[in-house]
């Protein structure tokens, strides 16, 4: 587990960019209907944004709050754009995204304490 934590700390920028790109593409890809997946849509938003914030919070650069704010604004922008690409933008998705960001931050803090 410690090697995984060190890997995430070392490649946090690459991981964050890949996760953000994946979230963006999957959120804005036009679809006729959403694919049937287990669980709630809000849970998926929560997990995706927790995963997004985890590497940043684990590495914790001194400007991490700015990155967190950027992720929040990016999330809101996606929700505003979605109706124009045959998707549904919902404010509750933004709430789930924000709660996911907070959880990712807290999970990284716990991981740092447990594995430091």
Q: What percent of the chain has pLDDT over 70?
A: 100
Rounded CA gap, 3 and 115, in Å?
10
Claim: this prediction has a pTM higher than 0.95? no
Distances from the Cα of 3 to the Cαs of 83, 85, 103, in angstroms? 42, 40, 22
When pLDDT is cut at 50, 70 and 90, the band that residue 86 belongs to is confident
Residue spans per domain, the chain: 2-29+39-115
30-59 as b/e: b if 16+ CB within 10 A? eeeeeeeeeeeebebbbebbbbbbbbbbbb
What pLDDT, on a 0 to 100 scale, did the predictor assign at position 52?
Answer: 98
At residue 111, does pLDDT exceed 90? yes
Rounded CA gap, 42 and 95, in Å?
9
When pLDDT is cut at 50, 70 and 90, the band that residue 116 belongs to is confident
Of 19-23, 35-39, 80-84, 109-113, the range with the lowest mean pLDDT is 35-39
At residue 14, does pLDDT exceed 80? yes
**Would you tell me the crossing angle of helices 2-10 and 41-59 to the nearest 10 degrees?**
80
Residue with tokens 């999330």: 75
For the residues 98-116, what does the mean pLDDT come to? 94
């Amino acid at each position: 587990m410690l090697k995984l934590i060190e890997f995430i700390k070392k490649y946090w920028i690459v991981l964050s960019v890949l996760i953000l790109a994946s979230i963006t593409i999957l959120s804005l890809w036009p679809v006729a209907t959403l694919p049937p997946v287990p669980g709630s849509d809000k849970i998926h938003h929560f997990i995706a944004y927790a995963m997004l914030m985890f590497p940043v919070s684990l590495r914790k650069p001194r400007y991490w709050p700015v990155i967190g704010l950027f992720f929040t604004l990016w999330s809101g922008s996606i929700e505003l754009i979605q109706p124009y690409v045959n998707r549904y933008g919902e404010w509750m998705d933004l709430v789930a995204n924000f709660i996911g960001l907070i959880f990712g931050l807290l999970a990284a803090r716990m991981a740092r304490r447990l594995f430091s």
